[in-house]
Amino acid sequence: MDAPLEPAGFVVEVGPGDRIHFLDWGGSGEPGVLLIHGLSNTAWSWAPVARRLVAERHVVAMDLRGHGLSDAPTGAYTGDDLAADVIAAAEGSGLLNQAGTVVLAGHGFGAIVAALAAAELGPRCARLALVDGGWENLAETTGVDVDEFLRGLDEPPEVLASLDAFLADRRGYDPATWDDDQDRAARATVVETVAGRVVPATRPHALEASVRAMFDYRPAEVLARVTAPIVALAATSPPPDLGRVRIDVIRLSAVGHNLMRYRPDEVTAAILGR
Q: What is the pLDDT of residue 3?
A: 54
Q: Is residue 157 part of a domain?
A: no
Q: Is residue 239 part of a domain?
A: yes
Quick one: what percent of the chain has pLDDT higher than 90? 88
pLDDT in tens, 196-242: 999 999 999 999 999 999 999 999 999 999 999 999 999 878 888 88
Mean pLDDT of 1-19: 84
Rounded Cα distance between 63 and 7, Å, is 13
Q: What is the pLDDT of residue 230?
A: 98
| Model confidence at 67: pLDDT above 60 | yes
Rounded Cα distance between 12 and 159, Å, is 34
40 and 189 Cβ atoms separated by less than 8 Å? yes
Rounded Cα distance between 134 and 193, Å, is 34
Domain tally, the chain: 1
The DSSP secondary structure of 137-183, one letter per residue, reads -HHHHH-S-HHHHHHTTPPPTTTTS-HHHHHHHHHHT-GGG--HHHH
272 and 54 Cβ atoms separated by less than 8 Å? no
Rounded Cα distance between 272 and 63, Å, is 22
Range of the domain at 105: 8-142+202-272
Q: Is residue 96 part of a domain?
A: yes
CA Rg, the chain, in Å?
Answer: 17
| Model confidence at 120: pLDDT above 90 | yes
Rounded Cα distance between 165 and 158, Å, is 7
Q: Is residue 148 part of a domain?
A: no
Q: Is residue 57 part of a domain?
A: yes
Q: Is residue 56 part of a domain?
A: yes
Give the CATH number of the domain where residue 113 resides. 3.40.50.1820
Q: Is residue 209 part of a domain?
A: yes
> Does 31 sit behind a cis peptide bond, omega within 30 degrees of 0 on the bond before it?
yes
Q: Is residue 156 part of a domain?
A: no
